[in-house]
Structure 1
Amino acid sequence: MAAEPAATTVTEHRLVRHGSWIVCPLLGALIVWLLRLASAWVAGLPWAPFQGVFQLAASVPDPWGTVGAIAIGVILGLGFAGLMAQERLAVTVEPEQVVLTVGRSRQHIARAEIGYVYVEGKNLVVLDESGGEHVRQPSDLDRFALRRAFTDHGYPWRDKDPFTGSYSLWVEDTPELSLRINSLMAARERALRKRAGKEAALLRTELVKHGILVRDEKKRQYWRTTD
């Protein structure tokens, strides 16, 4: 009998993972150095904001002004690289479970609880057999690498949402939905119009708690129940 494949971990390419710790500090140093060069000119503009900051930057003589600007830029770049690392997704597919790691956070999903796996846009989606959502995690992971990792371990991978035909277009005061759900959908539509992505994501999470899944197509909301 053939042995089960070993665990497979899908992460961003090592050039991206390691390169961000080099590129971000270099970009930070360059940007702050350019701001240092322009500080005297900006400080002379009466309408420019943060006049005090630019005046202070322009008052520091070289070489310490330039050295300080580069050092600050490197520190800011390292901080940005650290934030990117904390938001980076790694997916480990094992014979009996899937582990999703984002920064120091880990989510374990048992194989028996997984009904469907697919990628929708930039999101990795894991559903149970009834269509309930375990995971909708944004990532830049390679779609084909994910597909290979899940199919090699026999997980039910799909090339698209298997419940696509179950969604209905949401309109204001949809009679099939409660007043509470319609209010959340209306609030989310306003957030989408304002391009408030984080607010829209939070409202979507709240709708999931009420058994409603939402997908967006051409700036319209479509919904289905998970019951």
Structure 2
Amino acid sequence: MSRLPNTTVLGYPRARLLRILLGFPALGLALGFALPPLARWLDGASMLPLRDVLAFVGDMESAWQTVAFALAATLIGLLAAFVAVADSVKVTLTEDTLNVEFGDRQKPLSLRRERVAAVFVEGKDLVVLDSAGRPLALAPHRASRTALARAFRAHGYPWHDSRAESGGFDTAGTPLATSAMASATSPLASSSSAALPLKTAVSA
């Protein structure tokens, strides 16, 4: 999470971002040095697939070939890290606007503060609802739940810890109280299912 004057940008936590940007290239470097001797060791196994690939990698016996292969694997790891970060969802908050950038070619989403009636996390998704319970945004989040809650509350958005606290809308946009009452009064509902209508609606 980064802060500008009256602006908060939410994405990967710093520690996780560093693990991605440093870990992927480091893994590529390690594989680059480890694969040639491993390929030579496995080359005699007749049951393994991709024997031609193993033979090609195993033929890299000189020092400069091994170093070149390791550098190429490091660059591939670095590229994979940048792609992973670039394709992640970024949320930008101000007191007036909520912007969601999806990282791919999908058009960014911009919502005025007055349209937002509830914000919460459900599973791996950040959910934004309007006053009628209709979803305005549904996007996988990268920031931690704690960072999201702190940022949205700091900018005056109606953050809720769960869907049940968000004003009571289920996945169909129906108030949970209404859904619970319908379940309780349904002639087809059994006594056991009518005893827990709210729990059923929340988990929907």
When normalised by structure 1's length, the TM-score is 0.66
Larger Rg: 2
Following superposition, the deviation at residue 19 of structure 1 comes to 4.2
> Counterpart of 2:109 in 1: which secondary structure?
strand
The whole-number CA distance in structure 2 between the counterparts of 1:140 and 1:7 is: 18
Q: Give ranges in structure 2 of 5+ residues lacking alignment.
A: 171-175, 181-200
Aligned equivalents of 1:42 and 1:69: distance in 2?
A: 18
1:38, CA displacement in angstroms? Answer: 0.7
**For residues 32-71 of structure 1, what are the alpha-carbon distances to aligned partners after superposition, in whole Å with 9 as ceiling and x for unaligned?**
3222221112221111111111101111231023112211
Task: Classify 1:64/1:17 alpha carbon distance in 2 versus 1 (closer, same or farther; 3 Å).
Answer: same
Answering whether residue 122 of structure 2 is matched by residue 108 of structure 1, we say no
* Structure 1 residue ranges without an equivalent (≥5): 169-214, 223-227
Partner of 1:140: 142
Q: For the Cα contact (< 8 Å) 1:86–1:102, is it kept in 2?
A: no
Shift in Å, 1:167: 6.9
Q: Aligned with 2:90: secondary structure? A: strand
Deviations along 1:101-146, one digit per CA (max 9) or x if unpaired, are 2336632111122121001122111111111112221123121221
- Aligned counterpart for 2:124 among listed residues 122, 125, 136: 122
Partner of 1:198: none
The aligned residue for residue 163 of structure 1 is: 169
Q: Partners in 2 of 1:216 and 1:70 — Cα distance?
A: 51
* Aligned residue runs from structure 1 range 5-154, under 5 A: 6-103=6-103, 106-154=108-156
Q: CA RMSD in A?
A: 2.5
Q: How many pairs are equivalent?
A: 168
Query: What amino acid maps onto 1:158 in structure 2?
Result: H
| Kept after mapping to 1: 8 A contact 2:120/2:161 | yes
Whether the 8 Å CA contact 1:33–1:73 is kept in 2: the answer is: no
Identical columns (%): 27
The residue identity in structure 1 corresponding to 2:74 is V
Amino acid at match of 1:149: A
CA–CA separation in structure 2 for the residues paired with 1:24 and 1:113:
40
Q: What letter is aligned with 2:43?
A: A
| Deviation of the 1:98 alpha carbon | 0.3
Q: Contact 2:99 / 2:109 at 8 angstroms: preserved in 1?
A: yes
The Cα of 1:9 is off from its aligned counterpart by: 2.0
> Does the Cα contact within 8 Å between 1:57 and 1:65 map onto a contact in 2?
no
Alignment of 1:166-185 (within 5 A): none
Aligned partner of 2:185 in structure 1 is none
Structure-2 residue corresponding to 1:210: none
What is the TM-score when the length of structure 2 is the normalising length? 0.72
